Structure 1
Amino acid sequence: MDFAENTTDLLALRPGDPGYDGELSGFQTGFDRRPDVVFAVSSADDVGAAVRYAAGRGLPVGVQATGHGLPGSSRGGVLVTTKRMDGVTVDAGARTVRVQAGVRWGQVVAAAEPYGLAPLNGSAPDVGAVSYTLGGGLGILAREFGYAADHVRALDVVTADGRRRHVTRESDPDLYWALLGAGHDFGIVTGLEIGLVPVRRLYGGSLAFDGRESDPAALLRAYEEWTRTVPDGLTSSFAAVPYPDLPGLPPHLRGRYVVSVRVAYTGGDGDAVVAALRESGPVLADSLGEMPYSRSHTIHSDPDFPHAYYGDSAVLSELDLAAAGELLARTGPDAGGPMCVVQINHLGGALARPAPNSVPYREGRFLLRLLGAGEREKARAVVDPALALLADTTIGRARNFAFGAGDRREGLYDPVTHARLAGLKSIHDPTNLFGGP
């Protein structure tokens, strides 16, 4: 069959067509994707038609919802854009939500809030819910509830043969295991059914210090010591950001090197839990306090505008404070390179619990995320050597935080998980239509 017979009602765009460049646009502006065909899908049937078209011509397939986590520049093949699939349905009695492939987390938070429920979303409300969850999903309340992938009840997926399948742990335990942790390597997920948690409010916010008035390495040491004392239900991260002097930024951030600790906690007496942190140095800003869950995105206040960046991650067995201090020095405002954002997430708690999915490295104690703004090669020249400083305690990389480095696959899975994924790949996608192990 020719193209027209398979995709009668499907919007297909090729280079030079009106709308082609706009369809490719997303949050990450630093990588150039030029597929042979872009299918702008509106339904699971559209996805099936796009996959069959690609399979019939031996073309690789990529997926884009919001364009936050692009693996890097690419040429040729087929790209399926899912942003038009934006349905959200909450079942309050079952404490679940069904989301389509293009849904963003902010939509899910808003839909669940009237029922006193919350999803296990990340820090940015404009990130796509499906790809985030398929890569694990390290959320605001991760140490209390685990990875978002741990709460998936069912997946609707189009596999390499163009078939639509409804996958649960009971119906197909192997494919269920592979899909949750391996991203879109095993098919295009068109919808998820995810469990919600009964959270209306939390104690959270950010405690910020001036990284020039205080020693960032000393603040990190105080943070690491503090993490050894906190309840399992408290989720936190340490961040170091040299902000540019731009008029659009809040006055307390403009031109400053801000070192902060972000906190999210549903337990009681939050002020007592963070008291030791408040004594770590002169406080620049303190937003810690009670808030509705719908305001949880303000804890990190991630940028909401498209921009160029390159980044990678390291799952750490322990935090080598001497090496991490050197990393802060190499990525700080006086290093002379591109603007770098350092974030260190405290793992453990519910994240360490086993689950029937392929999310690896649950034994990790910290996750180091390092992002360089601007042109890829300039950022990579700083990011990669800086991450290498912690090689002795690095046990792997996190798929969701390989910002532009996702085309380098080593370290994304431990050997046992990788071997099982590779075996299942030979069954479900033997021609490697979707890429992967």
Structure 2
Amino acid sequence: MKENPKSKLIRRDFFKKSAAGIIGFFGGGHLNIALGSQNNFKKPISPTDSNWSVINSQFILKKGITYMNNASLGMPPINVVDSVRSGYEKISKEPLHGKHKLQDRINNNVMPLLAKTFNVNKEEIILTRNASEALFLQTLGIVLKEGDEVVLSTQEHPAALKPWVHRESKDGVVLKYVFIPSPLVSKRDVIDRLMSAVTSKTKAISFCHVTRGGHKYPVKEIANVARRKGVATLVDGAQAVGQFPVDIKNLGCDAYSASLHKWILAPAGSGFLFVRNRSKNYFESPFDLKASTVQSYFNPPGTKDYPVRAAVGAALNFIDKIGLENIEKRCRYLSNHLKNGLKKMKDVKILSSDNPKMSAPGSTIFEKSNLDALESVKIFEDKIGFHIDEHQRDGHNAIRVSTHFYNTTSQIDLLLATLESI
């Protein structure tokens, strides 16, 4: 029996409309991803744009938007989006069994991969919702009494300061703030400034690995000096992990908090807390007074967001396939391109160091005369659809541009041209 020619036309029209719908849903140019070719790329051989185009196609950013605010929230690739969706489907179809399957994946796959990525023991690390939660856990958990001193820099994120202010009010802990200039003068200067505030009453130093403005602190050197003085080191790594390789064991700090939904590109609402096994006696558990392991110290009971936590593995695999060393080179290549353009503008002051030992690869902060940083965020979005951020901190009226590997030099050129025209 012959098929009706009209039915062929109807079916052909259906497939055309279906394909158009898929392309529309994924923002155009992402049909190959929708049909299952996620992560179908090779490690880039150089940091130039042409070597990253296939990797950049793994994202579904809405057409007309250029995203340069990765230091606030990362842009997950499609394999991470699919993993979260799949996790919620498992729980929706089989609530109890789906939950158990996700828990097994987290315990048997995600946690070992997380520990391997940052070179720690699996027993020393727990998942959290973000760096802020991890910072609260480590700050509220460290054993301190009235009159004990804690040294902080003036460049800490508000989320890192808030729990310390709570300890100051509740427990009578003395907070000593140390001014650190922008850009950083040198590694030695940072170490000397922080250590000059240490006294016999100092119990901890709390500081960023990378600040909100992209300044990179010498964590290992600070931790080494502090350890000899019997002082605990608590590090905020929210802006570090994912920009470059981070070997926490080698850093030597006692605790390390981080977000995974920024530069690692994991789902929103994911982070971790690391506490070194040998350092757990510095802390007491807010959940279990009989706790004996790092995980039981800091892991609150109750149901977690299992689909999000399970999808952390997809993000780590994606980053691992590219290589953190390659990501660091690419991010540095892009930020150098931005800085070179900014240097040509007489009314712009760059606050980020050119020295890779003192600046993170991806974030750049700068001031432009007579341009309010907060207003500039809206100007760039309205004029050219660029998402950036302000950095009105530390006495600066700065603009922050955080470029990740999926940005391009042509996008940076457009940003520079627009900045010059304002």
Structure with bigger strand share is 1
Structure with bigger helix share is 2
Q: Does the TM-score normalized on the shorter chain lie above 0.5?
A: no
Query: Which protein has greater RCO, CA pairs closer than 8 Å, 6+ apart?
Result: 2
